[in-house]
Amino acid sequence: MDIRSLTTAQLKEEMVRLGEKPFRAGQIFDWLHVKQVGSIDEMTDISKALREKLKAEYTLSNIEIVEKLISKQDNTRKYLFDLGNDIIIESVLMKYSYGNAVCISSQAGCRMGCRFCASTVDGLERSLTAGEMALQVYKIQQDIGERISNIVIMGSGEPLDNYDQLIAFLKIMGEGIKIGQRHITVSTCGLADRIEQLAQLKLQITLAISLHAPNDDIRRMTMPIANKYSIDRVIGAAKDYANVTGRRVTYEYALIKGVNDSEDNAHELAQRLCGSLCHVNLIPVNDVRENNFIRSEERTIKAFADILQAKGIETTIRRRLGSDINAACGQLRKHYKDKTK
């Protein structure tokens, strides 16, 4: 068990189990998530005997930066991290006027199989622990020497396919470096049953749904998960999430030329989303070497946005940050792995 993946409450239970005083949990948590130490021996106010016990009982996740690329265009930074045993993941830092946002990975690889996505090409290697998710934030914060204010879980992996570690991670962020739920976005390809489960927790995180299609026929062409959950079920779960939490849901829609970008597609999407608490983020699809999807033309994207907006659906077109450093969607990790194979 990774000790860095335990919330304060879980650490307290562990201390009781080990016959230690519960207040030790707070001290240990502070070392792991505020001081962010790399080894248990650095916990100098913990007795040697307890440190030895911790070392025997738990593992401690650690990750190392193996490559860092800084965009000349917009200060976006891409990090490749080594998790040990040749497991490589990537994270991105984006500087905005409101603060520093990091996009982190929740799994090494992914098993969802979306056809436009580079992260899924070689399948899932393994899920990350909550500690490994947290370390991406800590390492980037240390590297830039500035506070991280926002987190998006939109790197490689499907966060709701790693549900328990995700929930622990969200709690740890609030307890340690105090990034509140309203500053965290979780993006999912639409695991409807997990979305329903998440809604029950009544957290204040932003939910982003990777929809990418206006109906099941088109969605099934690019996203295998659409065979398991219908678009009605996914949107239904997202609408319930908005109702239960009062949080506006984001729908992500990557525009692929000739696949999902017609005016009819826009009208159909508008009809499905009309009247719900939501926001649509249109993304010009990034070319991935392994597939032959082509980005929609700029005027097509604009026309698509206009149709949604005319129906009262708030719509933005995503700015492309870091395009000179392959900052998008699992591309860098894939290139690195191909290079070092």
- Specify the 3-state DSSP secondary structure of 215: coil
- Contact indicator for 323, 331 with CB cutoff of 8 Å: no
Straight-line distance from the first to the last Cα atom of the chain, in angstroms, rounded to the nearest whole number:
30
Q: Is 121 an interacting residue with respect to ligand SAH (CB under 6 A)? A: no
The least CB distance from residue 62 to ligand SAH, in Å, is 24
- Residue 251 — φ and ψ, nearest 5°? -105, 125
Q: Is 100 an interacting residue with respect to ligand SAH (CB under 6 A)? A: no
Q: Is 90 considered catalytic here?
A: yes
Tell me the two tokens of residue 259. 């696949």
- Left (φ > 0), alpha (ψ -120 to 50) or beta: where does 75 sit? left
- The smaller minimum CB distance to ligand SAH, of residues 14 and 158, is found at 158
User: Residue 199: CB partners within 8 Å, gap ≥ 6?
Assistant: 237, 240, 241, 244, 245
Q: Is 283 an interacting residue with respect to ligand SAH (CB under 6 A)? A: yes
Instruction: Say how far residue 314 (Cα) sits from the centre of its chain.
Output: 23
What is the identity of the amino acid at 38? G
The least CB distance from residue 337 to ligand SAH, in Å, is 16
- The smaller minimum CB distance to ligand SAH, of residues 55 and 111, is found at 111
Maximum separation of any 2 CA atoms in the chain, in Å: 68
The least CB distance from residue 212 to ligand SAH, in Å, is 6
Cβ atoms < 10 Å from Cβ of 103? 26
Q: Is 114 considered catalytic here?
A: no
Q: Which one of 129, 188, 245, 250 is in contact with ligand SAH (CB under 6 A)?
A: 188
- The smaller minimum CB distance to ligand SAH, of residues 5 and 250, is found at 250
Task: Characterize 170-199 residue by residue with b for buried, 16 or more Cβ atoms within 10 angstroms of its Cβ, and e for exposed.
Answer: bbbbbbbbebebebbbbbbbbbbebbbebb
Binding footprint of ligand SAH, residue count (CB under 6 A)? 18
Catalytic residue among 14, 90, 132, 252: 90
Q: Is 90 an interacting residue with respect to ligand SAH (CB under 6 A)? A: no
- The smaller minimum CB distance to ligand SAH, of residues 3 and 89, is found at 89
Catalytic residue among 103, 114, 278, 329: 329
- The smaller minimum CB distance to ligand SAH, of residues 6 and 124, is found at 124
Task: Give residues 146-185 in contact with ligand SAH (rule: CB under 6 A).
Answer: 154, 158
Virtual CA dihedral for 314, 319, 321, 326, nearest 10 degrees?
Answer: 100
The least CB distance from residue 13 to ligand SAH, in Å, is 31
Task: Give residues 210-269 in contact with ligand SAH (rule: CB under 6 A).
Answer: 210, 212, 252, 254
Q: Is 206 an interacting residue with respect to ligand SAH (CB under 6 A)? A: no
- The smaller minimum CB distance to ligand SAH, of residues 37 and 154, is found at 154
What is the identity of the amino acid at 278? C
* Window contacting ligand SAH (CB under 6 A); options: 23-31, 59-67, 282-290, 299-307: 282-290
- The smaller minimum CB distance to ligand SAH, of residues 36 and 106, is found at 106
* Window contacting ligand SAH (CB under 6 A); options: 46-54, 111-119, 142-150, 266-274: 111-119
- Contact indicator for 120, 153 with CB cutoff of 8 Å: no
Helices (H), the chain: 8-17, 24-33, 48-57, 130-144, 163-175, 192-201, 216-222, 231-245, 263-273, 298-310, 331-340
Q: Catalytic residue positions? A: 90, 329
Binding site for ligand SAH (CB under 6 A): 112, 114, 116-117, 154, 158, 187-189, 210, 212, 252, 254, 283, 285-286, 288, 329
